[in-house]
Amino acid sequence: MKLWTGRFSKEADQRTNDFNSSIQTDSRMYAQDIAGSIAHANMLGACGIISEEDRAQIAAGLEQIRRDIAAGELHIDPQAEDIHTFIEQTLTERIGEAGKRLHTGRSRNDQVATDIRLYLREECGVLSCMLEELRVALRVKAGEYKHAIMPGYTHMQRAQPVTLEAHFAAYREMLERDIGRIRDARARMNVSPLGSGALAGTTYPIDRAMTAEALGFDGVMPSTMDGVSDRDFCIELAAALSIVMLHLSRLSEEIILWCSWEFRFAELDDAFSTGSSIMPQKKNPDIAELVRGKSGRVFGNLTALLTLMKGLPLAYNKDMQEDKDAIFDAVDTVKLCLEAFIPMVRTMRFHPEVMRQAAAGGFINATDCADYLVGKGLPFRDAYQVTGKLVALCIERGQTLESLPLEEYQKISALFDKGLYDAISLENCVRRRGLL
């Protein structure tokens, strides 16, 4: 039986029931729904709104339902309208009249809002831990190749020498900001809407602070209308997760490039690669490619939430049932990506000799050559012009700045001496920048 059938003279069409149902999405929140209901029942009992006997029966009945679902002894009915209805009706079937008193002073509107916050609050902790795990994996991997020099790029052109550690340090900084954004989102979502009722609160003498404290919230939402209609916390978390995926996508793009024969900087472990059905030589970076592709899925969920909420008047509207599909999918997708991405990074192998050769062949110590002349008193713009001529000469002769004889340097500028080669050594270039 639907919770709202009293007003209606006939049963809803089955197509209405199917379209209206959210059980496939919100059933994952059964533990949070039960925790919220136990806190609500305990508060009702403490405030004298229901009897102590009813309170005890409700709390015990709900806890048993939670254990039975977790153990697989109670299966959630896929035909139920939603998880809230299923649990309340199961409770009433088990304990009788007392179960019908659970919903006193509460609406599904504030119940749903509470459940989502409780669920996402837990997921924020999981996501933060996984991102920190990836940060550690990047630091450990860079430590395995502590002295590996590679070209740094701008405009996808070799620019200046860096180290693998410096490259991965940039991503560790991004991930640290990601963790901060998720923690910020968690802090803002950690306020209780329970007690908001349908939108205007309740006439029962409830204690909202009691349920908030019991559920680990930092406080209550002052506006009951905001309490049931706010989904900023979903949007904020989806935005934070979109930035996470942006960062993972950028790193994925680099890993894909590094593993190509054109770069050959790195190689993925066989356990985290795939092959081709027709080309036996192929070793494809599918995990990185899928992460890059799934970023669009998470971005789409953020767009869906923004579009969902942008035109809704206060307070609750049924449109908001769509919020869970979007934010749950965003959370699931990021976790799925990280579960595969972290071990992929841990097992990657790099080829320092290939990276070093690429760094040497790209004239990425040209700035250091110019700076050497500046140290001799030549203005930077003049030093820039001299170095540009030297690069052109090296290209013409198939040499590098390191292999070009000193006499060729001195033909262009008398300021050059043997100290030049120390100045343009790739190791010294990165060491002077604090990268080695």
**DSSP letters spanning 296-320:** HHHHHHHHHHHHHHTTPPSS--GGG
* Helix, strand or coil, per DSSP, at residue 274: strand
CATH code for 109-351? 1.20.200.10
CATH of domain 361-432: 1.10.40.30
Q: Which residue has the tokens 């010294």?
A: 428
- Report DSSP state, residue 98: G
Third-level CATH fold of 5-104: Fumarase C; Chain B, domain 1 (1.10.275)
**379 Cβ neighbours under 8 A, 6+ residues apart:** none
- In this prediction, residue 192 carries a pLDDT of 98
Q: Where are the domains of the chain?
A: 5-104, 109-351, 361-432
> Crossing angle for the helix pair 232-258 and 286-309, nearest 10 degrees?
160
Integer Cα distance of 123 and 331 in angstroms = 8
What is the model's pTM?
0.92
Helix (H), strand (E) at residue 257? helix 232-258
* Residue ranges in 145-231 assigned as alpha helix (H): 164-189, 208-214, 224-229
Dihedral in degrees, nearest 10, Cα atoms 363, 364, 365, 368: 120
The whole-number mean pLDDT for each consecutive block of 10 residues of the chain, a chain of 436 residues, reads: 56 66 94 98 98 98 98 96 96 98 97 98 98 98 96 95 97 98 98 98 98 98 98 98 98 97 96 83 92 98 98 96 97 98 98 94 92 96 96 94 95 96 94 89
Residue 2's pLDDT is what? 55
Tokens (6 digits) for 237 = 């978390």
Give the residue numbers annotated as catalytic, written as ranges: 155, 276
**What pLDDT score does 4 carry?**
46
Q: How far, CA to CA in Å, does 136 sit from each of 133, 139, 250, 298?
A: 5, 5, 18, 24
CA 238/CA 159 separation, integer angstroms: 35
